[in-house]
Amino acid sequence: MANDPQFTSDDSRVEVNPHKGKTGVRRILNAFAYSLEGLAAAYRHEDAFRQEVLLAVILMPAALFLPVSGTDKAIMVGSVLLVLIVELLNSAVEAVVDRVSPGDHPLAKRAKDIGSAAVLLSLLNVPAVWLLVLFG
């Protein structure tokens, strides 16, 4: 590790990624652009994400028009956004797993199954939240 250019003598990390050198407004603009690229990639390549976006396009405006408090609307919209967030994370895990382990491997399967379980829980959360807000 002493000869590794990523470390100094006190073991603190030295910035080695050229993309990490951006600061201020340029860093924010780059991060925003990368985020939009990620959303576009997920929409283009992930069927489940497209289906969940359709769900969000229907449910989020519906939440805004329902006669519930602002806090309740926020919770309802948040439950739908949570599905999209979890699906994005699951898709990222799956992409990495496919990249590093294209064959069948028990740990690859476990990672994908756990990601899928997280999506399932976030999907089950939506009707639970909506039912509690509307009828609870």
* Residue 1: Cβ-neighbour burial (10 angstroms; 0-12, 13-18, 19+): exposed
Residue 21 CA to its chain's centroid (Å) = 24
- C-alpha to C-alpha distance for 57 and 22, rounded to whole angstroms: 35
Annotated catalytic residue within 37, 52, 87, 94: 87
Closest CA to 85 of 49, 46, 113, 112: 49
| Cα within 13 Å of Cα(79), Cβ side | 20
Please give the backbone phi and psi of residue 102, each rounded to the nearest 5 degrees, phi first.
Answer: -65, -25
Beta strand residue intervals within the chain, DSSP E: none
Dihedral sign, Cα of residue 111, residue 33, residue 82, residue 130? negative
Mark whether 37 is an active-site residue: no
Catalytic sites, residue numbers: 87
